[in-house]
Structures are given as C-alpha cells and as structure tokens.
Structure 1
Amino acid sequence: MSTVINIKKGGSQIFDQFKRLPTELKTIKKELQKKEQAVTDLDNLSDHEVELIKAIKEQTRKYNINNVTRTQAYMDFFKKHPDIEWAFLAHMVARNAGWNMTDLKGSLLTRLMTQEQQEYFFAFLERSNWLIFHDAFPQLLLYEESIRKKKNLFYLLPQFGVSFFMKVMWDYYYQTKDKNMISVALIINEQNYIEDRVIQNKDYQANLLESLEFKIQELLQLNQILFPFSDRKQVKLIGQSVHQFASLKDRILLGKRLYQLLFDDEFFDAIYEMALQQRHTGSRKDYWPNIFNNINEANPDQPFQESLKECQLKPGANRLYSPTLEQAWRNVEQKPAEQGDWYSDWKVIHYLRKDPSKINGAIYGEYCESLEKMELAILAKGTMSK
C-alpha cells in the first residue's frame, strides 16, 4: 500500500543490525542501483505491445469500480496463479477494508461518528483501495501475459506508472520463482505507493488521521484485520491489530506478519476454503451471521441497547446491523493517480529479509472486547448527551 522511506526517521533501527547482505539481496541491490541508467523507450513499441497495454489498462478500470469488484478480481487471479501469493493476501485485506467501509453505516459507528466523519473515513479507505489496485493489478496481468507468452514483459511496467523497484523485483521473480520475495516486494511497494498519495495527504491528515475519532478507534482497537475460517463446528478468527497506521515502516511490517500468518500451514487451507465458499459482499454477516445481519433488526425509535457479551448475543437482543457495500455506499469516480516513483534508496530491500519467528494470530478475544467497548462508548455518549 509516495515518497521513499525516510531512512533516518523510519528505518535505520532495523537496518543497522545488518552488516552483510545475503547473495540474493546483493543481486537485487545491484539491479536497483541501475535506476539512473534506466531509460524507457516509448517510441519503439510494437502494435502488439500497444494493444496489450491498452487491454491491461481497460481490464484494470473494469474491476477497479468498488471494493467488491476489486476483492473478487484478486481472488480470480489467485485461483489461476496460486504462485503469486500476494494476490490472496490482497483479497483478504480487501475484505477487511470492505468491512471497515460498511461498519461506518452499521449499528455502532453511526452512533459514534458524524455523517461528515463517516464520509471522510470512507474516502480514505476507498482512495487507498483504489490506488493499490490501480498500481498492482496491471503488474499481475502483465505477469499473466508473460507466462502465457513465455516471455519476460516487465520492461512494459513503466507504461503503467509502476515503480522501478517492482521492475527489478518482477525480473528477479521471473528468474528465481521466489514466492516469498515477490509477495514481500509487493507489500513494500503498495505501502510506499499510498504514502504520499493518501497517508501524507494534507486533507486526510487534517480531517482523519489527526482527528479525535481516529485516535478513539485506535484506543478501542477497532482496527483489527481478521482472517475468518471454520473448523466445521464454528467460525474462528485469526489476524493482527493495526497500530501506528501513519507509520510506513509499521505498515510494511504489519503486511509481512499478515502474509506469514495467512500462508501458515496451520491456517491457509481453512481460510482459503471459507473465502471460496462465501463471496465478499462487504457485510460482516459473510463470516458471522449469528452476530451480524445485513437487515437492520433494531427499532429506530428505541434507545440503544447492548447486544453482546463475549461475542454472543444476549437473550432477546438484535443482531448488529452490517450492510453490504452496495447498501452502504455508492461507487465513487476517482481522480487519476498522482504521478511519481516512490523508489530512490536501495536500502529498502532490507524489508525483504525473512523473519523466522512464528506469528501469533490470536485475535478473537481482542476483537470481541472491542465490539463491547464500542457499545459501552455509545451508552456513555448517550448518557453525556442527556
């Protein structure tokens, strides 16, 4: 998920401990240092190349309509190319983005945020989602065509505004088939790509990231990324909490943890099976129909009442309202992506190092507690307003 990492501020701590690069990173470093020599010859494209570029851009526009279409496009690609594991990670993270979008119109956040705040938060999520797909999906389609043609076509990546960093990484993947390396590279790229375009955007900074409501969300830990799966008896959740979202380094490290957790042999098959069986609609009913419903069961004339205790409905309580994306938000026409290449310093490759430690994905209790805290916040707000 664009400007280069500020090594002095954000990354020096994790780089200082590394004195020697492993062989594969030395190779990548050497290629990355050729950026100043890289020249894109735009005038000598064949008719086939021009048509291919046009077709990829059209396919990207076709699926970059809203969160649901993007999420499905990632899944469809992964089913055809399971070696590109990032595509399934993108699918699952996009599901979470959709749930966050519809939460803004659900039972709880509508009572804690104003209409204007809901719209700002949605715009933030939608712009980030749109930009990442706009940048990443052409890369995936060009890889698909390279496989079909049995020819490296990544020299065409500049035609889509893709970073030189990813040109180097796709070339490396085409030679080595290192699934972990290309997945982490795409994580690094996506977060750098949205850094200036969204995270450091003054409008979002002023209206969302620095707002009291956003800090309350962090305080209540209402920002978990969840991977649901079934053990045939009940739905279970694993995932990670998002902390310090404004930090580029922390977002990259979070992406790496999510990737490692998602493709853990203990969980992957069950998560994938559930994702295949339940198409994404944006409603949390997709994975928890006993807690959420896309029909509002509450009487609007009645005061708010708590529904949950330890992620179980209280006797006689209504399920929480969680609309589908279609019910919650209209499609948004996005302005063109801002130009520019975020990459300028080869030291970013230190993020490509593997972390051998096992990720603790336990999040069920934390997520349940966050829902109950939200209900208490609503009750407290109601008491204060009397």
Structure 2
Amino acid sequence: MPFLLYSLSDVKKELKKKSRAKAFQDKQIALTEEEQRLIHIINKSTRKLNKNNVTRTQAYFQFYLQYPEIHWAFLGHMVSRNGGWNMTDLKGELFTKLLSEKEQRVFFSFLERGNWLIFQDVYPQFLLYEQSIKRNKKMFYLLPFFGVSTFMETMWNFFWVNGDPYPLAIATIINEQNYLEKRVIQNNYFKKAVLGTVGFKLYDFFRFNHILFPYYEKGHQKTSLAGETSRHFTSVHERILLGKRLYALLFYHEDILRGAFNWAKDHPHTGSRKDYWPHLFNNVNESFPRGLYKRRIKNCELRKGMERLYSPPLIYAWADVDHQKAEEGDWFDDWHVIDYLTEKDVDTDGKIYNEYCKTLEKIELTIMAKKALLREEE
C-alpha cells in the first residue's frame, strides 16, 4: 500500500528519497487499454487547446470555473493574459517604433515558447485531476507518461489527501519556473538571441517586468489595476518569489480576487490591451503609421485631441506556431525546493498604477529621443 502524505514533513521525506534516487524514469508498469486511451485523450485535448496564447488563457479560466480549489488555474489565467499582452505589444503602437522586425519575431518566439511549454506541462496535470475526481481515485501515477516532474506527482498525492490549495499552487509555481529554466532561460539560442541583447534589456526595463491584474473595485464596474514588478527575470529564485507574491495578491485579498474573477468573466482574453483600458488603447490603428510621434499619455490618460494607442488582438498580430516537442528530462534533483512551500510573509498591496503610468511615459520619451537621434544622423 502506498505511503500516504498527511503532512509537509511526509512530503519532505518522500522528496528526500526521490532526490537521492533521481527517481525520474518511466515507470515500468503495464498500462491497461483504458489507461492508454486516457493518456491519448488527454494529449489530444492538450494539443487542441495549446494552439496559441488566447486558447491557453481561456482553458485555464474554464478549468478554474469547474475546479476553484485549483488556485493556480486562475493565477495562470491572469499571468497568461499578461503573456498575450506582451506578445501583441511587439506589434503595437509603441514597440514597433523601438524594435526591429527581426527583434519583434525573436522576442515573440521567446514568449510563445515559454507560454506553450507551461501549458503542455500543466494542463495534463489538470485533466488527470479531473479524471481522479470523476473516478473517485487518484490517477497521478500516470503523470510520468506526460513528462511531468516526479516532484509534482508527490505534490498532487499530498493535495489529494490534504486538500489544502496553497501548497499545490506554490508547488506548481516552483515546478513551472524550474521547467522553463533549462528549456527557455538557459537555452543557448534564447540566451544569445534574446536575453543578451540590448533590445531585450530595453523591453525588459519598460514593460516585460510589469504583471498587471485588472479587477473591479468593490462596488464599481470601472477597471482598476493591481500588480507586481519582476526583478532579475533570469533568476529562477526571483521568478518563484514573484509567483508567490502574485498568488498572495490574488488569494490573500478577497476584494481583488472577487474583482479580478468578475472582470475576467466579463472580458474574454483577446491579447489586446484594449481589454482592460479601452480609453487608452484601441485594437484599430487610429494614427498615421509614418507620422511624427507626439506624446499622447499623461497619468495614464490621453492628452487632449490625441489618438489612442494601437494594441492589436493576438489573432491579427501573430500566426499560430508549430512547436517542436518539449525537451525531455526532469528538473527535480534537490529536495530543498520544499522550503518555498513554507508560508512566509509574502503579502503585497499590489499598488502598480503610478509605476505603470510612468513606464508608458518613459516609453514615449524614448521613442521621441530615438527619432531625434535618427534625424541628427541624417
């Protein structure tokens, strides 16, 4: 009979054992026809919904509607919205004036690969949980057949017995950030073509490090913003801490959670920033592409007589991508990652409005400085 994980102490013991054994290998078990069929169905469903950022983002939300105890599904939905906005920014009003077409394509491939990888890793976990609920028996022994880390098998088994959504959500953050580390962040191509470039440092400084959660303030239908700012994006440790802060922002603040959930229900994700601020962004280009750029923004409002900023929907910005199969291998080799599960003070007020407004104004100033520099060189 398998050992039941009733406490984090039990989890630690199992992870220590797995860490020593480097236990990620395909289990030598004979699958029944029903299990083989289930694996096929889950893979097929995952591929279908892993088409682009919009389909992934919506799939997370639909799953959360059915299983609200899986907190990461809503956190993933909100963060994935930001991924889509970052993708369409590359074809929007501002960044087309700062980045070359080649830089736009390379940066998109970086964002898209990470977004795709996370979905193809986490969504089969969700569907196995759904099957476990429907069959009233845990099915997590099948996770290795989807290439999912042995770390998550332990954490799903713990959740099945314990039912506490917090450790599972933080474990998923730990898993996804470590999963991305070698496949994207440490990938030689992306390190050279994206992370080490001047263009990325500019992009990272201006927008990529803001994670925005639109929400309705209590008693209002007007969209407010909460959020966090990423520091040291290339550090897996910092990304995990960011994930914990974002989790705290949603699930430790009932008003933000309720407001973000209701806002998400009312605003299907398109990838355009018009989704949350139609007063400032439009999915139709209102300005002349070759016209001289003039400052339009002050305190996140349009200056008098100015056109809104173009922010296209994803469907018009980028074509769907056929991805190569995910690289194999399990990242888990150190049980000390369990230290992230301890509920330390990571609470945050989420105040980001002023910082975000200043960022938009900085981008405009940079565009104008670049144009002035080009004119001097002519």
- After TM superposition, the score normalised by the length of structure 1 is 0.92
Question: Which of 286, 293, 302 is matched with 1:304 structurally?
Answer: 293
Q: Distance in 2 between matches of 1:94 and 1:37?
A: 31
Q: CA deviation at 1:115?
A: 0.5
Please name the residue that 1:361 is paired with: 350
Question: How far apart are the structure 1 equivalents of 2:100 and 2:268?
Answer: 30
Aligned to 2:177: 191
> Which residues in structure 2 correspond to 1:226-305 (within 5 Å)?
226-231=212-217, 232=220, 234-263=222-251, 264-305=253-294
Structure 2 counterpart of 1:198, one-letter code: V
Q: Which residue of 1 aligns with 2:205?
A: 219
Indicate conservation of the 8 Å contact 1:146/1:152, yes or no. Answer: yes
Q: Which of 60, 63, 66 is residue 52 of structure 2 equivalent to?
A: 66
Shift of residue 233, structure 1, vs aligned partner:
5.3
Please give the per-residue CA displacement for 1:114-147, whole angstroms capped at 9, x wherever unaligned: 0011111100000000000000000000000000
> Offset of 1:152 from its aligned partner?
0.8
Query: Residues 82 and 212 of structure 2 are in contact (CA less than 8 Å); yes or no, is this contact kept in structure 1?
Result: yes
Return the match for 2:9 from 11, 26, 29: 26
CA offset digits 1:13-68 (Å, max 9, x no partner): xxxxxxxxxx9332111111332285644451111111000000000000000000
Would the alpha carbon gap of residues 212 and 301 (structure 1) be closer, same or farther in structure 2, given more than 3 Å must change?
closer
In 2, distance between residues paired with 1:150 and 1:175? Answer: 12
Instruction: Note closer, same or farther for the CA distance 1:63–1:357 as it changes in structure 2 (3 Å cut).
Output: closer
Q: Is the 8 A contact 1:218 1:243 kept in 2?
A: no
The SS at the match of 2:214 is strand
Which range is displaced more, 287-296 or 257-266?
A: 257-266
Q: Is the 8 A contact 2:22 2:333 kept in 1?
A: no
Describe how 1:102-141 pairs up with structure 2 within 5 A: 102-141=88-127
Q: Could you tell me the percent identity over the aligned residues?
A: 49
1:129 maps to amino acid: N
* Structure-2 change in CA distance of 1:62 and 1:294 (3 Å): same
Structure 1 residues 37, 214: CA separation in 2 closer, same or farther (over 3 Å shift)? closer
CA contact (8 A) 1:77 1:87 kept: yes
Rounded Cα–Cα distance in structure 2 between residues aligned with 1:357 and 1:56: 35
Aligned residue for 2:225, secondary structure, equals strand
8 Å contact from structure 2 (residues 244, 346) kept in 1:
no
Aligned match of 1:8: none
Amino acid at match of 1:33: K
CA distance in 1, matches of 2:62, 2:108: 25
Is this contact kept in 2: 1:222–1:370, CA < 8 A?
no
Distance in 2 of aligned mates of 1:40 and 1:376: 54
After TM superposition, the structure 1 stretch with the greater mean CA deviation from structure 2, 119-128 or 217-226, is: 217-226
- Select the residue among 173, 188, 209 that pairs with 2:159: 173
CA contact (8 A) 1:187 1:252 kept: yes
Unaligned 5+ residue runs, structure 2? Answer: 1-5
Q: Is the 8 A contact 1:223 1:242 kept in 2?
A: yes
Deviation at 1:295, TM superposition (A): 0.1
Indicate if the aligned counterparts of 2:80 and 2:115 stay in contact, CA closer than 8 A.
Answer: yes
**Using the alignment, how far apart are the partners of 1:221 and 1:177 within structure 2?**
37
Whole-angstrom distance in 1 between the partners of 2:351 and 2:22: 47
CA shift digits 1:87-116 (9 cap, x unpaired): 000000000000000000000000000001
Report what 2:313 is aligned to. Answer: 324
Per the alignment, in what secondary structure is the counterpart of residue 254 of structure 2? coil
Q: Offset at 1:356?
A: 3.1
Q: Which has the larger displacement, 27-36 or 194-203? A: 27-36
Letter in 2 for 1:224: H
Rounded to whole Å, the distance in 2 between the matches of 1:365 and 1:315 is 20
Q: Which amino acid aligns with 1:261?
A: L
Deviations 1:143-199 (A, max 9, x none): 000001000100000000000000000000000001000000000000000100000
Query: 1:101 aligns to what?
Result: 87
Paired with 1:284 and 1:226, the residues of 2 have a C-alpha distance of 11
Residue 3 (structure 2) aligns with:
none
C-alpha contact (below 8 Å) 1:102/1:323 kept by paired residues: yes
Displacement after TM superposition at 1:221 (Å): 5.2
Alignment of 1:137-176 (within 5 A): 137-176=123-162
**1:264-289 Cα deviation digits (max 9, x unpaired):** 21311011000011000000000100
**C-alpha displacement of 1:218:** 3.5
Report the alpha carbon displacement of residue 223 of structure 1 after superposing the two structures with TM. 2.4
Match of 1:17 in 2: none
CA contact (8 A) 2:91 2:311 kept: yes
